[in-house]
Amino acid sequence: MGMILHYIKPYKWVAIFAPLFMVFEVMMDLIQPTIMQHLIDDGIASGNTSYVMKMFMFMLLAALGGLVGGVGCTIFASRAAVQFSADLREAVFHTTVLFSSKNKDDFGIGTLITNVTNDVETLQRAVLMTLKVFVRGPLLFLGAIAIVFFTARELFPLLMVIVPILMILIVLFTKFSSKVFGVVQLQIDRVNAFMQENLAGIRVVKSLNRHLHQMKQFQKINDRLANRSIRAEYVVSTLGPLTTFIINLGIVAALWLGVIKIDAGIIEVGVILAFINYLTIIMNGIMSSSNVLIQIARAVPSAKRLQRVLNTRPAVQSPENGINRPIQGAIQFDHVSFYYYNEEEYVLKDISFTLQPGETLGIIGMTGSGKSSLLKLIPRMYDPKKGTITIDGIDSKQYDLRVLREAIGMATQRAILLSGTVEEQLRFGKVDANEQQMATALESSASTAFVERFDEGMAHFITQGGHNLSGGQRQRLAMARAFVRQPKILILDDTTSAVDAVSERFIQEKIAENFEQSTKIIVSSKLSSIRHADQILVLEDGEMVGIGTHEQLLSTNAIYKEIAETQRAQGGMLHE
């Protein structure tokens, strides 16, 4: 919590103005009933028109003053709160964008996004409320009590009875209503989550003909939300009448019991009106104070959660004074073992192989055998738990992380595209790519034809996640993005699974032609795309069950042979 508040520091001067303006507004608010009292009792009662006019002007001035104070407070408070939350969001983005895959696994990327967005918003609201109301509530409360004490001492005992009752009532009420609204919020979250999931998976829902079922499901949770909301509104609507009733009851009781003796001339109408006004002010004071406290209490878990995010350092770090020299692309895995969560479940066990610059390694293995995991270790998305990976003979952990990753062009199994034009996709791979390089990258990935078919060509806009592309187009652009880097180490994780056989053959030839000097690691479930590799690594359950050329493996490796035979029988595919 403390750390989070650091983010308000740059705006402390702005923030301090808010309560100052608020003090002014409160003073103006407090003075008005007294002016009114004089206007009535000393002016209207005695028919003194000029006095009435004078008091009226005072009242107007006080009201205007209050307006200035209120608006000023809001301006400064919202400035401070908005800038605070903008900085906080930026800090969170800066932290999370550096997260390694391990950090993302730990937080869960979906909840991380919603939590961060909601938490920052909650904190912004809490800061705004605090700046606006934290001073206002208690000040109104105490000020009004003091004024009654000094100007209408005879009514003070009445205050002593009504105020505690109001206080208890309001505190209980805020507690109860915040519980009720907490339930409503929970239902809102459920509705949102359901909507999000079903819209994201709309194709699945439709293709499986489940939309009627999902609609019924949605109706159920939506109805529950409606019911809870209505109930919450009932609760809220009771407070106004209840407090008015108590105030009125107090006044009637006071008249009845003779505390207020109008007919005896001890007290005047204006005083009573002012008193009722002050009571209302006191009530507002209590109410806003308890609201602020609730807001702050609600913000604490948010602050803690954000703090946890902000305190997280990337699981994979660049070493201090990391090695910064050109990478040639020799890769060696030396007894590498790796697991994601616990030692019981090694995903890779004792993997060793050596690749010279320019060589190609093909990796094949059943689904879940650890192929993608192996690839992720090379750009240090994760670090091995045992063993070392050396690049050009040096432990990859000793390289400056940027230098290491600069040398690698990787297309992951799920072709992930960020929104932007085709050209921007390529520039994501290499910021300063020239026309020629981009054209070559598109050609090598068999993308030229479909990009040319877009009306805007290179300026064609790809929507978030590449959803306006076909699966194969997405994969090809993701490859082009890796190609354009002209990396020393090229890593392709099953990136032609949705590409037709003709294009695939073409891409293979282009890779051989354009990346002769690069070390290539290619995972594929299709034997055809790796059979010409210098070495082929066969993975099974994280273990290396064979390594060698296609011919060697065919004659020595039972598993490889089986894969080859199955694929031949099924026309070239491993899984389908």
Ligand X SMILES: Nc1ncnc2c1ncn2[C@@H]1O[C@H](COP(=O)(O)OP(=O)(O)OP(=O)(O)O)[C@@H](O)[C@H]1O
Closer to ligand X by Cβ: residue 367 or 556: 367
Contact between 413 and Mg ion (CB under 5 A)? yes
Strands 489-493 and 346-355: unpaired
Residue 365 contact among Mg ion, ligand X, none, beta carbon within 5 to 8 Å by kind:
ligand X
Q: Which of 10, 340, 434, 568 forms a contact with ligand X (CB under 6 A)?
A: 340
Residue 369 contact among ligand X, Mg ion, none, beta carbon within 5 to 8 Å by kind:
ligand X
> Is residue 375 within 8 Å of residue 493, measured between CB atoms?
yes
Residue 340 contact among ligand X, Mg ion, none, beta carbon within 5 to 8 Å by kind:
ligand X
Choose the stretch contacting Mg ion; rule: CB under 5 A; options: 57-65, 296-304, 411-419, 536-544. 411-419
Contact between 38 and ligand X (CB under 6 A)? no
Residue 301 contact among ligand X, Mg ion, none, beta carbon within 5 to 8 Å by kind:
none
Contact between 413 and ligand X (CB under 6 A)? yes
Contact between 371 and ligand X (CB under 6 A)? yes
> Is residue 521 within 8 Å of residue 492, measured between CB atoms?
yes
> Is residue 487 within 8 Å of residue 445, measured between CB atoms?
no
Q: Give kind and range of the element (H or E) at residue 33.
A: helix 12-38
With a CB cutoff of 8 Å and minimum separation 6, the contacts of 403 are 322, 323, 324, 325, 327
- Token pair of 432 as six digits: 């300063």
Closer to ligand X by Cβ: residue 494 or 504: 494
Closer to Mg ion by Cβ: residue 376 or 380: 376
Closer to ligand X by Cβ: residue 54 or 104: 104
Closer to ligand X by Cβ: residue 302 or 497: 497
Contact between 524 and Mg ion (CB under 5 A)? no
Closer to ligand X by Cβ: residue 100 or 373: 373
Q: Could you say which residues in the range 78-107 bind ligand X, by CB under 6 A?
A: 105
Give me the 214-253 binding string for ligand X, x by CB under 6 A, dash otherwise. Answer: ----------------------------------------
Residue 373 contact among ligand X, Mg ion, none, beta carbon within 5 to 8 Å by kind:
ligand X
Burial 59-98 (b: 16+ CB within 10 A, else e): beebeebbeebbebbbebbbbbbebbbebbbebbeebbee
Choose the stretch contacting ligand X; rule: CB under 6 A; options: 153-161, 206-214, 367-375, 506-514. 367-375
Q: Which of 83, 130, 302, 373 forms a contact with ligand X (CB under 6 A)?
A: 373
- Burial (Cβ within 10 Å: 0-12, 13-18, ≥19) of residue 265: exposed
Separation of alpha carbons 43 and 46, rounded Å: 6
- DSSP E strands: which ranges in 358-454? 360-365, 386-391, 394-395, 408-411, 420-421
Separation of alpha carbons 429 and 60, rounded Å: 65
3-state per-residue secondary structure call for 444-493: HCCCHHHHHHCCCHHHCEECHHHCCCCHHHHHHHHHHHHHCCCCCEEEEE
Q: Which of 33, 43, 365, 546 forms a contact with ligand X (CB under 6 A)?
A: 365
Closest distance of CB 493 from Mg ion, Å: 6
Q: Which of 372, 486, 496, 524 forms a contact with Mg ion (CB under 5 A)?
A: 372
Q: Between 109-133 and 136-151, two packed helices, what is the crossing angle to 10 degrees?
A: 20
Query: Would you call 110 helix, strand, or coil by DSSP?
Result: helix
Closer to ligand X by Cβ: residue 122 or 495: 495
Return the amino acid letter for 218. Answer: F
Cα–Cα distances (Å) from 526 to 33, 58, 170, 430, in that order, read 85, 88, 70, 29
Q: Which residues bind Mg ion (CB under 5 A)?
A: 371-372, 413
Q: Which residues bind ligand X (CB under 6 A)?
A: 105, 340, 347, 365, 367-373, 413
